[in-house]
Each structure stands twice: as C-alpha cells, then as structure tokens.
Amino acid sequence: MLRESAEVSLDTFPFSPQREGVMDAPAFAQAIQCWKGIVGERFVETDPSALKSFCQNVSALQRSVLAVLKPSCAEEIQQIVQIANEFKIPLYPISCGRNWGMGSRLPVRDGAVVVDLGRMNRIREVNVEHHYAVVEPGVTQGQLYDYLCERRLPLVLNVIGSGRNTSLIGNALDRGVAYFSSRADSLSGIDVVLGNGERIQTGFGSFPQAQTTFLYRHGTGPSLDGLFAQSNFGIVTSAAIDLIPKREEMVCMLATLRDPKKLGEFVEVLRRLRQQEIIQTVVHIANRHRSVSALTPEIYEYLKRTRQGSAFDLRKIAEEIVRLEIPGIWTAGCGLMGTAGQLKEIRIRIKKALTKLARITFLNDRTLARLQSVAKGLSFIPSFARKSAVLHAMEPLYGLTKGIPTDAALRSVYWPLNDEPMAGVSEPDQSQSGQLYCLPMIPMNAKSVDEVVAGTESIFKKYGFETYITLNMVNTKALEGVINLVFRRDQQARVDAAHACIEEWHRQFIEKGYIPYRLGIQSMSQVIQEKNPYWRLVRDLKKVFDPNRIIAPGRYNLV
C-alpha cells in the first residue's frame, strides 16, 4: 500500500544488519552526536514530526528517513562521510529536493540519513568572458538569474520549465533538459566528495594551478565527469555550469500543427531544421493537455486581477477562453538567437519548411507588447478580451525561451484536479495533488513518435488518466519524452492506479526499446538489473569510489 508519508521515530526504527556489520541504536545515536559537532545541533534534524513533513512528496511514495543533515561546505561533507563510513550509515544527498514527480527528497531505499545541501548556495564565480558560473548545489536557477540581472551581465541562463527554486547542479546531474540544451553536458570542474571520504575535482581541476578547469571539461586522461551524473559514487559540492552569451536578438517561435495525424511528419521537418542548424536550441512539442494545463491557470490568475467573480465562475471563463483561442492539438516552441539579419533569414527558412503543416508565430518583446496593447485597447470586444488574457498568460512561458525562470508551471500541478495551492503551501509536496513521470528517449522519426504517443494514450486511458506529453528535441537525433499523469493523493484508489499505470508504461515501452533516461525512485529496479553486464560493471565501480556503500544505496545502481 502506498501512502503519502511515513512517521519515523528513532525509538521504533527497526535497525537491521548493514552489509558485514550490524547497525544498532546506540551507534546511530553516537553518529548523530558526531554530526552535530560537525554542522551544529540546529542543522541535524531527528524530530519525528519534522521528518514526517520532510517525507511528504507529490508522488505519494513512502520511505523512512532517519535524520536530515544540513552541511554548509565541502569540508563538513567530508567529515559527515567519514562518520558515515565509521558507523556504516547510508547517506542520501539532495540539492534542493525539488525532484517533483520522481521522488522529491526521498531516498531510493529506507533507512538513510538525508544530506540536504540547500545551505550550500554560494555563487562562487561568474565569468563573462568564457560564459560560465561556478555554483554550489544549493544555488537555484532563480538565484543565478537574479544575480545576472542585478549585475546586468550579458549572459543568458539555460532554464528548465520547473520552478525558480530548483537546483542547477541537482537538475544537471540528473541530466535535465532545459530550454536551450541538455544541462548535463554543460558541467565542468566537478568538485566531489567520494563515498570513501576523498575529495577530487574532475578534468584539469586535479591540478591546483590549472587555468582551464572550467574551459575544457575533459582534462588529461580518462574523463570522469560523466561518472557523477545519475550515480551514487559521491556527493558533488560545486561545479561550473555553462551560460549563454546574450545575442543581439532573441525571438520565440510557436508552431501549431494543423492536422494532429501529421505529428510524425511535423517532427521530421523540425528535425531537418535542427540538422541544418536553422534551429539551434531545444524544440519543445507539447500536446493539448500539456498546453492547456500550462496556460489556463495563468489566464485564471489574469482574470482574478482584472475581473470580479467567484473562483468557480472565473475558472469556467478561463477554460472557455482556452477552448476558443487555443485550437491546436500539438504546439512546438523554441527560442531563436542571433543578429537581426540572421533571424530574418531563419524566419524565412522556418516558414518555408513548416507553413503547410502548421500556423507559425514569431514573438519578441516588441511584438508581444504591441499585441497586448492592441488587444487591451479593443478589450470591449469579446474576442479581443480573450486574446488579451491569452497574451498575458503567455508571458511566463514566452520568458522561458529567453532564459527567464518562472514558477508559473507549478500551477499546472494543481489545475487539472480543480485545486488551488492552500494558504501557506508553496510547493506541490505539501498539497494533495499527485504527479508521476515517464521520461523515455525516443528516436526522432515519425514511426517512433507515433508509436510512443498512441501507446501512451492507450495505457493511460486504461487507468483513467489524461496524458500530458511534451517531446523535447535534445539534439538532431533524439527526443526526450516528458510524459506525466496527475492524481489526488487523498484518494488511495487513484494513488494505486497512478503507480500501476506508470509501472505498466515502463514495462511495455522498455520491452519495445524506449528506455527511460531518468527514473523515479520507485522505478529503478525496472531498468537496473543484475543480468545486464553494464549494471554489474557500475556495481563494481561502486566498490572503488564507495567501498562501504555509503552514498545513496540503490540510486542508479544495484547497490
């Protein structure tokens, strides 16, 4: 039975054998005292009620957490790991813990001590000349964006569509796909405390005098950077993440497919535009459910500011506006950057390639402001009043294509369930709204796209769920599928159905060769299996970096 959270008590936790040794309550109490001496008593959380709150998660998963440690620097992490090795206590590091729909802050397995890196939130360096920032794991995308804006630096952040308070490093290490490129490929000079307590820096960072640590990620000899993405070999304490030099012009392209039966052809035309480097950023192709869940709550918020009416009435008006003004089933969007001359040519080439398939719109700050002004001036006409609402609702989503993070997408978690965030609740984990994801990599061709979309819709319909799909063109060859469902966590039947649906999706599509590139904590065993020699090798590498199996047992590993 899946439950929302689990109350954890140090008095009742069934300490069990830990590999070769035996973990007992007195030893754990001694470790806690050692950790308090390292990070300070107020940064070691063991109170059962606090841990219960910590375990709440939007996926309705249950895990036991023994304690939460909140270090402030890499040196403290080294000492924490040394104590964990001495007492054979597993640690589970999190950056900001906002891995919504994939397990949030919870460990893969019961009985771990969570190491919350949120206090490590220093921006150590921003290099304008070479366009990178060196940040700690607690630095959020909103924090770095504000830093760039306050100093008027000519740099653009590669944002994701999640909230402002999501970790840059945490998302990159889980290979998150942002609006311009995959974040995993943008990391360099990774500073990491290994499971054995040693501390290293990847690439040229292994040389204290190196001047190119953050300029060329591979360094000399074997490149180790990739070993610390989606692994449990150590705890990353800082890294450089690439930024994007600001260009003369930035434009958002929107393309709404005219005939949903031509989705495959649509994808292949967009692929060719990427291959020809006419489009150079990630193209996000969203189905109607995804678009509606993103836009409707923003229209509702706009109506609350500009109209009188009950929440029920305003919600109905917002839904009607979307029905009339957002007719398409699939919409693609991306950011375009370059000089004015380059973008003029790019627009011509895109129109030529896509006009027969889709309605094309190009937006920049000037055109959006002009459209908003016209719609507002004519808002006494119902159709223009609707357009005004849609244009204002598009602002945060348009901003993503310019590198502006937003919390707007968080409302899409609540909206399909007729919820609104409760007073004092700032994150989905503390609500009754539930969410789970499937994240496959898909060949960028019509046959594969049609097979994944049709098969997903069939499985989700079987369990009574709407299908929310975005297909993100991560490169010129593959699509990241972002597929999710929403459910009520206070209805156990829907919780069970949601998890059964996701499990069946993984089972069917893994058999067909559409392997998830990223997994929720509950789905690790569906991909990571001992019969596969690849995962046996990963297990053997764990012995080198973490011989006592201290760091995140079970996370992308057999152990």
Res 1 pLDDT > 60: no
Going by C-alpha positions, the residue among 522, 477, 481 that lies closest to residue 499 is: 522
Residue in 231, 235, 234, 233 with CA at minimum distance from that of residue 524:
231
Contact between 547 and 237 (Cβ < 8 Å)? no
Cross-strand partners of 68: 45, 114
**Would you say 155 and 246 are in contact if contact means Cβ atoms under 8 Å apart?**
yes
Task: Find the radius of gyration of the CA atoms of the chain.
Answer: 24
For 197, phi and psi rounded to 5 degrees?
95, -10
Q: Which domains does the chain have, with CATH numbers?
A: 17-117 (3.30.43.10), 123-245 (3.30.465.10), 249-417 (3.40.462.10), 437-519 (3.30.70)
How much is the average pLDDT of 475-487?
96
User: Angle of helix 382-400 relative to helix 311-325, nearest 10 degrees?
Assistant: 80
Closest-CA residue to 499 (of 57, 54, 55): 57
pTM for the model stands at 0.92
Q: What's the CA gap between 400 and 180, in Å, rounded?
A: 10
Q: What is the pLDDT of residues 85-117, one digit of tens each?
A: 999 999 999 999 999 999 999 999 999 999 999
Mean pLDDT over all residues of the chain? Answer: 92
Mean pLDDT of 487-515: 96
| Residue 121, C-beta contacts closer than 8 angstroms, at least 6 positions apart | 136, 138, 139, 140, 143
The pLDDT tens digits of the residues spanning 282-307 come to: 999 999 999 999 999 999 999 999 99
Longest dimension (CA), the chain: 76
Structure tokens at 507: 């089972």
3-state SS, one letter per residue, for 293-361 = HHHHHHHHHHHHHHCCCCHHHHHHHHHHHHHHHCCCCEEEEEEEEECHHHHHHHHHHHHHHHCCCEEEE
